[in-house]
Chain A
Amino acid sequence: MDDSGISTEISHDEFDPIGTLALIALYFVVLTLMWLFTYFVEFVGNAPTPTVLL
């Protein structure tokens, strides 16, 4: 085993890189903010919008 250069062997689920987790979280936040901006600022903010007669 020493010859292969592997110092520790871990299983599939034990590989948890922090950087990847941070990217996933950042991507989620970006998508959420873009959605909120598109809907609530760009769309709903462009009043008046056709509405039903209440």
Chain B
Amino acid sequence: MNIHAYERLWLVASMVLIVGFIVTITYGTVGLGITMVDDREETISPDDVDEDDRFQDPRVEQVGENEFEAYVVSMTFLFQPDPIEIPANNEVTFYVTSRDVIHSFTVVGTNTNTMVIPGEVSAMTVEFDEPGEYGVVCNEYCGPGHHDMEGSLIVHPEDEYSLTELSVDAPDQVGPGEDVELTISIQNGLLEDLETTVDVEVGDETLEQDVTVPGGETEQVSVTVDGDDLEPGDAEWSASVDDEVETGTVTIGDDADDGGDEP
């Protein structure tokens, strides 16, 4: 058979290309450590998502120094939690599962992108260097609301990140001249201790209290506002720790019986 020199040249060139393709993919896997999302996670029945420790309360958790895990549930037509808040420059492993049909979890503009299959858990470990807000979309057609299926991922600068949760126990009503006592529970989800200040406002009164919450624990702080300093009537209260704020209203005096049936 007579093969022209140019044809032989092209056969060699195409072999070079194929070898080049294989070399770059190998470099990506071995050199850069890029992985594919696979089925190595244990399966989970979509009906049991609510009983699973990870997914019954979709959240972000710190699991080690610079290591976080995000448990995400997707369903028609939303992602939980929304927004997902993570720190920059930390390893975050996303575990994503579906409650109903096939979705995807795609952080727009990044390779953080996986199919989400009911019964399977997709796991991806990524590290975001750039703080900012990223969109999360579903790129598998999943029903009539598919185009509205979106979530968001907020990447906080590492030193501004906290997993603090606040809950406040406050009376709805106190008698005239009685003290108002707020019990503030501060939950610190990070492994590090949280040293912070609780700011409390009741009516025109402001109070401040320093508190240290050990890593992974909840601390209670009681703040009492002297009843003599408060005007009768409805008083707004607020309690804040860092960026978390809780607010409410307390009625001072007995003039707020809802029906007002007594003269």
Chain A interface residues (CB < 8 Å from chain B): 12-13, 15-16, 20-21, 24, 28, 31-32, 35, 39-40, 43-44, 46-54
Contacts and interface: CB of A to CB of B under 8 A. Distances in A.
Interface residues of B, number: 30
B91 interface: yes
Contacts of B36: 50
Contacts of B129: 47-48
Interface string B1-14: 01011100110010
A44 B34 CA distance: 9
Contact of A13 (B5, B20, B21, B109): B5
A43 B34 CA distance: 11
A12 B36 CA distance: 49
29 contacts: A16-B6, A20-B6, A21-B6, A24-B10, A35-B17, A35-B24, A43-B111, A44-B28, A44-B32, A46-B109, A47-B111, A48-B110, A48-B111, A48-B126, A49-B32, A49-B34, A49-B110, A49-B112, A50-B35, A50-B37, A50-B124, A50-B125, A51-B32, A51-B33, A51-B34, A52-B33, A53-B91, A53-B125, A54-B33
Contacts of B5: 13, 16
Nearest to A43: B111
Contacts of A35: 17, 20-21, 24
Given A46-B111, A50-B34, A51-B126, 6 more contacts: A12-B2, A13-B5, A35-B24, A39-B24, A50-B124, A52-B125
Contacts, number: 72
A53 B63 CA distance: 14
B127 interface: yes
B126 A49 contact: yes
Question: Across chains A and B, which 3 residue pairs bring their CB atoms closest together, nearest first?
Answer: A49-B111, A50-B124, A48-B126
B128 interface: yes
Nearest to A53: B125
A46 B10 CA distance: 33
Nearest to A38: B24
B178 to A, nearest CB: 55
A52 B127 CA distance: 11
Nearest to A50: B124
A40 B125 CA distance: 20
Nearest to B113: A50
B125 to A, nearest CB: 6
Contacts of A54: 33
A49 B127 CA distance: 8
Interface in B88-107: 91
B105 to A, nearest CB: 11
Interface in B123-176: 124-129
Nearest to A45: B111
